[in-house]
Structure 1
Amino acid sequence: MTLIGYARTSTLEQEAGLEAQVRDLKTLGCKKVYQEQTSSIGPRPILETALDYLREGDTLVVTKLDRLARSVHHMGELVKHLEEKGVHLRILNMGVDTSTPTGKLMLNVLASVAQFEREMMLERQREGIAKAKEEGRYKGRTPTARAKSDEVVAMNAKGLSMGEIAKRLGIGKGSVHRILKGSQTSVAC
């Protein structure tokens, strides 16, 4: 059984946190430690490399679950991928090790609790929004793309593609399409 570590921090300011993760993983005996500094929501090429490297019987080790998984759904996908490869998962701060039946049970229980908490938070959010609407205090979020309509139309007139317009303005390609369709302007692809 080979231990393979994965460490991640979101920003350069968290350098000490990354160093601490790497230190802990090496102290545990990880043969190889993959590390990257990237947002949990952004692309994670080093994680993909680590997942490709893992072989049957190996154990992927992380110091904390949030260093690995973006969400309960993402964790489920990762665990399924690891199981299909015959790879175990160890999460140090939780004492979870899926090479044991108890570890598998704990991971499933933790995932269920996290999912429950998420659903309860969303329910409270919906209740709060409904109450604010009743009281006339809820306005919804401010549409960001519509505020850039003039810029979208001007860029389209210059011949920029919808993708390029979206990228430059930081809005979705669908928003660009809706703005252009609404302005009855020809759409450059």
Structure 2
Amino acid sequence: MTTYGYARCSTNENKQNINRQKRELKALGCVDEKNIYWEYESGTKVDRVELNRLLDQVQEGDTIVTTEVSRITRSTKQLCQIIEIVKEKQLKLVIGGFIVDCRNGELDAMTDGMLKMMGVFAEMERNMISERVKSGMANAVAKGKVIGRPITSIETLPSCFIKHYPKYKNAQINKTELARLCDVSRQSVYKYICIYEGKK
């Protein structure tokens, strides 16, 4: 039986936050860092590479640890799907101090209801944040400010990517390992590679 951790941030600018999550996951029992799956993706995105890899990897009796329900998803529908996977695979799910033990294949009604309520609050929080962001952007546009992230170019590629790219090019590491070395998502690494190699 193995303990796996999952950490997520919405953007790769928040490295401090995801590193804090990794430390907390170790404190919660996922002591082996190679068993921590992490990524920079929206909590509402269903098809997340690292989360899907984790859910494919776990076996009966294993434990999944995450710091809070909003890390694993901000969608009530997806949370229900994850709960079903936890029950089907007979896993233990630890969300901070909240334990969902389905290693006998069952989930009591009280725990199921509390878990889904946590999911509703996580989704509601995300919607409130989204509304505030939209309001702030509209206000900024009204004041004539330019909205959006700076465009990444070959001149602005991270130095860590430039440093480790030769290892990828020489097949010493793959995209996932390159992403971990650069502390960014696989999607970001793919974008960096396309820019660096002059692809469209």
TM range (shorter): 0.5 to 0.7
Specify the code of the residue in structure 2 equivalent to 1:106.
T
Match of 1:98 among 85, 89, 100: 100
Unaligned runs of 5+ in 1: 120-189
Identity of aligned residues (%): 33
Moved more, 26-35 or 2-11: 26-35
Relative to structure 1, the CA distance from residue 16 to residue 87 in structure 2 (aligned partners, 3 Å threshold; closer, same or farther) is same
Q: CA deviation at 1:70?
A: 2.6
Larger Rg: 1
Q: Summarize the alignment of residues 24-103 of structure 1 with structure 2, pairs less than 5 Å apart.
A: 24-30=24-30, 31=32, 32-42=35-45, 43-92=47-96, 95-99=97-101
Relative to structure 1, the CA distance from residue 12 to residue 109 in structure 2 (aligned partners, 3 Å threshold; closer, same or farther) is same
Between 1 and 2, higher relative CO (CA 8 Å, sep ≥ 6) is seen in 2
- 2:188 aligned residue: none
Relative to structure 1, the CA distance from residue 14 to residue 77 in structure 2 (aligned partners, 3 Å threshold; closer, same or farther) is same
The separation in 1 between residues aligned to 2:121 and 2:7, in whole angstroms, is 27
Specify the code of the residue in structure 1 equivalent to 2:79.
M
The separation in 2 between residues aligned to 1:70 and 1:38, in whole angstroms, is 11
Give the length in aligned residue pairs.
117
Relative to structure 1, the CA distance from residue 102 to residue 62 in structure 2 (aligned partners, 3 Å threshold; closer, same or farther) is same
Specify the code of the residue in structure 2 equivalent to 1:22.
K
Q: Summarize the alignment of residues 133-152 of structure 1 with structure 2, pairs less than 5 Å apart.
A: none
Equivalent pair of 1:97/1:104 in contact (CA under 8 Å): no
Q: CA deviation at 1:106?
A: 3.1
TM-score normalised to structure 1 length: 0.54
Relative to structure 1, the CA distance from residue 113 to residue 46 in structure 2 (aligned partners, 3 Å threshold; closer, same or farther) is closer
Equivalent pair of 2:63/2:92 in contact (CA under 8 Å): yes
The separation in 2 between residues aligned to 1:117 and 1:69, in whole angstroms, is 8
Moved more, 95-104 or 83-92: 95-104
TM-score normalised to structure 2 length: 0.51
Unaligned runs of 5+ in 2: 125-200
Specify the code of the residue in structure 2 equivalent to 1:11.
T
The separation in 2 between residues aligned to 1:62 and 1:73, in whole angstroms, is 18
Q: Summarize the alignment of residues 91-170 of structure 1 with structure 2, pairs less than 5 Å apart.
A: 91-92=95-96, 95-99=97-101, 105-112=110-117, 115=120
Q: Deviations over 1:33-55 (max 9, x none)?
A: 11111122333100000001101
RMSD in angstroms over aligned alpha carbons?
2.9
